[in-house]
Structure 1
Amino acid sequence: MLALPRSGPVLFVCLLFVGIIALSWPLPSPIFVRRQLEMGSLTESFTIHINGKPVAPVAPNTDSVVQAQLGSEPATFTLKDGRLMSGDWILGRNLTEDRSMLPKKISWFKEGTEPATRLHAVTAFEEGGEHKLKFGGGCLIAEEDEILVDPFGGEEALSALQLQFRK
């Protein structure tokens, strides 16, 4: 039988305990790392393109809330404190939307109106040298030129979105 010095069993138990703790310590996931790098503001103005088509500006003389659409003319945006602005309008996702698992509407809200105060925050993050946007955790998608948010933020949605910065 192998003879251990008197401190051997105590040292073995301590090393075993440290090993178990070290192996069970959670490593940062890619989602956690991405969230650390999310920004609520960008310094430059930009346009948003989904599947190569730009997000269109709001038509003149519209109501205080209107569904966002893709079009031929791009709207120019700024991102400041979680608000995606284009002139007097905010592009956003309503906090009081339905709670289904379906994609959620993205709408234009007139700044200064009551519905514009109830919006999910918009954040930007950099991935692969490109900036991407998240609307309340989801990514922008387009279906029949209507702009929606995929609440699960699939990779297809991320790859279809492009921000083009204005100089």
Structure 2
Amino acid sequence: MNNKLKLLTVLGIAVSMSNVPMAQTASGTMTVSATVSEACSVSAATMTFPAISLFANTDVVADTAGSLLISCTAATSPLIWSDSPRVLTGPGAGIEEIPFSLGQTSVTALTNALPVIVAGEAIAAPFVADGTEQAVPLHGLIKAADYAGKAPGLYTASITINVSY
């Protein structure tokens, strides 16, 4: 087929299609939404008291050293608390116990200021909730009288930190 014949064929098809009615179009709207849920997360944290000398006869303090990280969505009002017993157990079969207290500062640790929820008590998170992970310092205190006469060895506890929002 020569080029003129091909061109006439294509033009003929185009002209014949111009008489075909165009399809109709209808429009509508679609609603799209997303809900961001309120949420908080709490990282695993560590608090390690320095080695205790039974002869020192002084209170021992420690803190979370930035390891306790809490994240809450914006516009929440997080409250921090723990209902875990504040007792280190050890050595061996865990028959020895050393009580300790927790607070937001070493001073508030003296009064065990991190509440064990009683009638809704809790401390306000020391940050503005904005969805980012933030370090929350907690301080621990072991009073000298509470470790006097204890057997040497490792004493441990597992504390659950709760965040209500």
Shorter-chain TM-score above 0.5: no
Q: TM-score range by the shorter chain?
A: under 0.3
TM-score (normalizing by structure 2)? 0.26
Greater relative CO, 1 or 2 (CA 8 Å, sep 6+): 2
Higher-Rg structure is 2
Name the TM-score, length of structure 1 as normaliser: 0.26
Higher-strand-fraction structure: 1
